[in-house]
Structure 1
């Protein structure tokens, strides 16, 4: 082809998007794929950055990659792949994403924080095996004897992860949970940081049993909302979380409410331990908010026997002093352990977190690349909806909810559907578990009608709704 004045244009060779990297033992490939590209692209070949394990072994947050399988990492993924034996990875960026990545290798395994994390995992496994032996002995002796002794079977290791903002607490919790499931355990994982969501939308607190494989391709490393039953069929077994609706971004926005919710969540976890021997033996991993947000007030109900401090020798000393001589309700001392922070752990930028929140809401209603969902647009009269609004001010003993009539201001907000009755007290409704979420599309005051988006068809029935203060309505899902 020729263009007047420019002459003949030589054909351009296609730019290669594929490359191969080799990692030595205890090496890492760290990568970040920005949110700029839509996760709902119709071009599946450009859906993300693909990775194939050519040789050796590799894992993402404790979950192993299968040899020669192609994994697609979507926009909004910030993570790493680690190898303890060495590996070769084939990376293909056909979508042309502005991929930020680098290879990190250490002169010796002893210099990698992952060695500490793996050793800690094996220590927890020893504790779990001891708990399993005790449980087996109790079963052989018969439950009547132990009821007479009034001795509740001691659970496996209960770990509370703490540290400054951006110290890598959540990544380590994911890693320990995944390593435990690889050993056949069923640990219970709890998230007390409302900024994140454990198998739910941000603004919630929750806990779930992790006894099956975690989704390597999930941008949240297996903790995302697409790993729940609402997401439809999945190649990875879904989890069923116990979830409370906090409805605020940070603990300090309503510290007293957060404290009460964490105590109630701890009560549900205790009941789970009582009813499920395998979960009780596997133990508990608790992910906490950053230290400055006052998470310590909600610690006691969890009966943890390990407090792990990431990346802060000063905090480790303070925790050791505070817990010196203190014991759990099972009579165990509380060990305070300090682990090194990975130099790949960084504080998530506000813009990135906002985009992640938007993506989580979209995926809750519409699914992701691997599983598309078709939400339902429904309409209801004002009289058919019972809406409670969380107060703007923190909870200080006053009524925790105020019943309100739908208003245009409610448009594009995400409301929680509670497992409660509209006739229950505001206190009961506020501390009930979540059934699901809807998004308000439009409020017609003249006709007294509300149009909303729901992941399932059918009326809301007797379930009340809570209108929280976060996540804010960043986007219009019906635009």
Structure 2
């Protein structure tokens, strides 16, 4: 007999749930109204959670039923608890301000709000972005989700920056829609590896999104919701300012850090067109140490090939290395100016595209399949998808890789980087 546990939440409360990585929990709304990051949970709808950490919130009260194939709830969850202190009112107020801008833009045929969510690691930026997107959809808009967090990959694989239109509520189990994403492969999980490339790709993505907005009044009015990485000091702060400028963000939501809010207040004071809002982080946010973040990246890649519930069947292929045209970006680390002769400039080009000459370095690598017609266009053209190198035979000079679908790859050229992981 499955274990069933019932929770009655009064208005303004949320149930915070952390499901173990290899376990499954079913959540059903039996009475009342509830939502997860702005996605409504319909009465009788059964939500399947696997290794997820989330909060089920109610504005008016709800009865939730938790079902697990276990003797006790602790067998499948790390923690389940009810909270009455949440930032949902502040988040809703921020959403309403953005919504007013969308409506004004629709009436005037102008540019809708470009909302960027910033803050340090593990303050709930991704969750807030989902909430803002879902509320926009519920109000009748289809905003563009933009993901600049290369470390985790909310839209595409880790190491990518990407954008996608959101026309329906974000599925709690599946995540952001990935049917027609615009993806550029930065090929690393830290912007410190090649900051010039990171800036270049953000600018490239911004230019294409501008073009799309200019061509469609509804897309223009709906605006964007932009998620960012959690590195907000030093170079990370510099890249954050660059992203705000490149994407012409005019609503900046600062989550969970007064210091960053103060810095941005000073930095953006001269820009009268920018609204800066400070928001609290949720008490339910879970801190993830580096090893756990690394595991999450591997799980994200595995999900790309096998699906959220293992419903997909990737295809394994083996080709001679000479049949593959693999490139990587960057001419190696630049020597610091202080180490060079006076007047000399660093010679390594961070945007140089060079062929990979040894198959051995590709083992366990994630490679992007580019739409580029020639190597010189690899930086400026988006990617079609990804393959994963599962084995390399240096004796036979062959490469075995996983592909989401059978048949020839959709592009001739592949991009490699430092994104390596072991996928069971």
Structure 2-normalised TM-score?
0.89
* Gap regions ≥5 residues in structure 2: 335-347
Are the equivalent residues in 2 in contact too, given 1:158–1:284 (CA < 8 A)? yes
When residues 242 and 461 of structure 1 are mapped into structure 2, their CA distance, relative to the original with a 3 A threshold, is: closer
Q: Does 1:436 align with 2:385?
A: yes
Residue equivalent to 2:97: 123
Q: More deviation in 114-123 or 398-407?
A: 398-407
Q: Does 1:424 align with 2:399?
A: no
The CA deviation at 1:112 is 3.4
Are the equivalent residues in 2 in contact too, given 1:168–1:345 (CA < 8 A)? yes
Alignment of 1:48-447 (within 5 A): 48-75=24-51, 77-95=52-70, 97-106=75-84, 112-135=86-109, 154-218=110-174, 222-223=175-176, 227-228=177-178, 239-290=179-230, 291-292=232-233, 293-294=236-237, 295-327=240-272, 333-369=273-309, 372-391=311-330, 393-394=332-333, 397-398=349-350, 400-421=352-373, 423-425=374-376, 428-447=377-396
Are the equivalent residues in 2 in contact too, given 1:56–1:87 (CA < 8 A)? yes
When residues 214 and 461 of structure 1 are mapped into structure 2, their CA distance, relative to the original with a 3 A threshold, is: closer
Q: More deviation in 154-163 or 360-369?
A: 360-369
Q: More deviation in 289-298 or 123-132?
A: 289-298
When residues 50 and 215 of structure 1 are mapped into structure 2, their CA distance, relative to the original with a 3 A threshold, is: same
Displaced runs of 4 or more, over 6 A: none
The CA deviation at 1:257 is 1.3
Residue equivalent to 2:4: 18
Q: Does 1:449 align with 2:398?
A: yes
Residue equivalent to 1:473: 421
SS of the equivalent of 2:277 reads strand
Query: More strand by proportion, 1 or 2?
Result: 2
**Number of aligned residue pairs:** 403
SS of the equivalent of 2:30 reads strand
Q: More deviation in 261-270 or 403-412?
A: 403-412
When Rg is computed on C-alpha atoms for both structures, the one with the higher figure is: 1
CA distance in 2, matches of 1:95, 1:191: 37
Are the equivalent residues in 2 in contact too, given 1:48–1:93 (CA < 8 A)? yes
Structure 1-normalised TM-score?
0.79
When residues 398 and 355 of structure 1 are mapped into structure 2, their CA distance, relative to the original with a 3 A threshold, is: closer
Q: Does 1:29 align with 2:15?
A: yes
Are the equivalent residues in 1 in contact too, given 2:331–2:352 (CA < 8 A)? no
Are the equivalent residues in 1 in contact too, given 2:34–2:62 (CA < 8 A)? yes
Q: Deviations over 1:330-358 (max 9, x none)?
A: xxx21111112211223323233222222
When residues 84 and 418 of structure 1 are mapped into structure 2, their CA distance, relative to the original with a 3 A threshold, is: same
Q: More deviation in 265-274 or 297-306?
A: 297-306
Are the equivalent residues in 2 in contact too, given 1:381–1:448 (CA < 8 A)? yes
Are the equivalent residues in 2 in contact too, given 1:255–1:394 (CA < 8 A)? no
The CA deviation at 1:305 is 1.3
CA distance in 2, matches of 1:288, 1:462: 29
CA distance in 2, matches of 1:80, 1:341: 13
SS of the equivalent of 2:317 reads strand
Q: Deviations over 1:150-203 (max 9, x none)?
A: xxxx31111111112222111111100011111111011111110121321111
When residues 56 and 434 of structure 1 are mapped into structure 2, their CA distance, relative to the original with a 3 A threshold, is: same
CA distance in 2, matches of 1:185, 1:429: 33
Q: More deviation in 348-357 or 285-294?
A: 348-357
The CA deviation at 1:65 is 0.5
SS of the equivalent of 2:297 reads helix
When residues 105 and 373 of structure 1 are mapped into structure 2, their CA distance, relative to the original with a 3 A threshold, is: closer
The CA deviation at 1:52 is 0.5
* Gap regions ≥5 residues in structure 1: 1-13, 38-46, 136-153, 229-238, 328-332
CA distance in 1, matches of 2:197, 2:6: 50
